[in-house]
Chain A
Amino acid sequence: MKLDCKRGILYLAAMGMEVCWLYVLIAMLNKKVAGNHLSVAGILVLYPVSFIFNRLLGRLKWPGACLMSVSWLGWMVGMLLIVKVQLYADLPFSESTWLLSIPQAMAQMIYTLKPEFIILLSTGIIWWLSQRVASRDVSFPMMLKKFQFGLIMLVLTFFTGSRLDAIPDYPVSEALIFFLFALSGISMAHAFENTSWFSGQNRWPWPGLLLVSISLILLMGFLVTLLATPELLQLLWAAFKWVWGLICGLILKAIEFLAGLFPQSEPGKLPPMLDTSQLKPAQGKPLYIPKWLRSSLLFTISVFCIGMVLLALWRIISDVFYRLRRKLSDMADAEFEPMTGAFKADLLNVLKLLLSRLVKFIFFFRLRHKEGSVSPEVASVRRIYRQLLRWTAGCGYPRHISQTPYEYCRTLESLLPDTSKDLNFITKQYVRARYGVLLPVEDTLYILSQAWHRIKQTRLKRASAELSSGKEGN
Chain B
Amino acid sequence: MSKVKSEISPEMSSIQQAANRMVDNVSKVIVGKKETIELVLVALLCEGHILIEDVPGIGKTMLAKTIARSLNCSFKRIQSTPDLLPSDITGIHYYNQKTSEFEFRPGPLMANIVLVDEINRATPRTQSSLLECMQERQVTVDLETMPLPRPFLVIATQNPVELEGTFPLPEAQLDRFLLRIGLGYPTKDEEGAILSRFQRSNPLESLTSVLEADELLKIQELSGQMYVEKSVSNYVTAITRASRSHEDIKLGASPRASLGLYHASQALAAIQGRNYVIPDDVKHLAVPALAHRLIVKTEARLRGRSTESILSEIVSAVPVPVEDP
Which residues of A approach B to under 8 Å, CB–CB?
A: 277-282, 372-375, 382, 385-386, 389-390, 393, 398-399, 401-408, 430-432, 434-439
Query: Is B7 engaged at the interface, CB distance under 8 Å to the other chain?
Result: yes
Q: Is B276's CB under 8 angstroms from A282's CB?
A: no
Q: Is A437's CB under 8 angstroms from B5's CB?
A: yes
**Candidates A280, A386, A407, A435; contact of B6 at CB < 8 Å:** A280
Q: Is A404's CB under 8 angstroms from B323's CB?
A: no
Which residues of chain B are within 8 angstroms of A436 by Cβ–Cβ distance? 5, 227, 229, 274-276
Chain B nearest CB, measured from A273 CB (Å): 16
Count how many pairs of residues, one from A and one from B, have CB atoms less than 8 Å apart in the complex. 92
> Bound complex: CA of A390 vs CA of B324, how far in Å?
9
Query: Is B195 engaged at the interface, CB distance under 8 Å to the other chain?
Result: no
Q: Is B1's CB under 8 angstroms from A401's CB?
A: no
Q: Is A278's CB under 8 angstroms from B5's CB?
A: yes
Q: Is B280's CB under 8 angstroms from A282's CB?
A: no
Which residues of chain A are within 8 angstroms of B323 by Cβ–Cβ distance? 382, 385-386, 389, 430, 434
> Bound complex: CA of A401 vs CA of B274, how far in Å?
24
Interface size class of B (residues with CB under 8 A): 20 to 34
Query: Is B196 engaged at the interface, CB distance under 8 Å to the other chain?
Result: no
Query: Is B57 engaged at the interface, CB distance under 8 Å to the other chain?
Result: no
Digitize B281-320: 1 where CB-to-A-CB distance is under 8 Å, 0 elsewhere: 0010000000000000000000000000000000111111
A-B contact pairs, 24 of them (CB 8 A): A278-B9, A278-B227, A279-B5, A279-B6, A280-B5, A281-B4, A281-B6, A282-B6, A373-B1, A373-B2, A389-B325, A399-B325, A402-B318, A404-B320, A430-B323, A431-B278, A434-B229, A434-B322, A434-B323, A435-B231, A435-B278, A436-B275, A437-B5, A437-B276
> Bound complex: CA of A402 vs CA of B242, how far in Å?
13
Query: Is B277 engaged at the interface, CB distance under 8 Å to the other chain?
Result: yes
Query: Is B279 engaged at the interface, CB distance under 8 Å to the other chain?
Result: yes
Chain A nearest CB, measured from B279 CB (Å): 5
> Bound complex: CA of A59 vs CA of B2, how far in Å?
70
Main secondary structure of the interface of B (DSSP, over half): loop
Chain A nearest CB, measured from B320 CB (Å): 5
Kindly name the residue among A278, A389, A432, A436 whose own CB sees the greatest number of chain B CB atoms within 10 A.
A436
Chain A nearest CB, measured from B273 CB (Å): 12
Digitize B64-106: 1 where CB-to-A-CB distance is under 8 Å, 0 elsewhere: 0000000000000000000000000000000000000000000
Closest residue of B by beta carbon distance from A394: B325
Digitize B1-40: 1 where CB-to-A-CB distance is under 8 Å, 0 elsewhere: 1111111010000000000000000000000000000000
Which residues of chain B are within 8 angstroms of A403 by Cβ–Cβ distance? 320, 322
Q: Is A278's CB under 8 angstroms from B280's CB?
A: no
Q: Is A386's CB under 8 angstroms from B276's CB?
A: no
Closest residue of A by beta carbon distance from B317: A402
Q: Is B322's CB under 8 angstroms from A404's CB?
A: yes
Given contacts A389-B325, A398-B325, are A407 and B4 in contact (CB under 8 A)? Answer: no
Closest residue of A by beta carbon distance from B319: A401
Which residues of chain A are within 8 angstroms of B1 by Cβ–Cβ distance? 372-374, 437
Query: Is B159 engaged at the interface, CB distance under 8 Å to the other chain?
Result: no
Q: A281-B4, A398-B325, A436-B274 are in contact. List 11 more A-B contacts (CB 8 A).
A: A277-B9, A382-B323, A386-B324, A402-B320, A408-B322, A435-B231, A435-B276, A436-B229, A437-B229, A438-B4, A438-B7
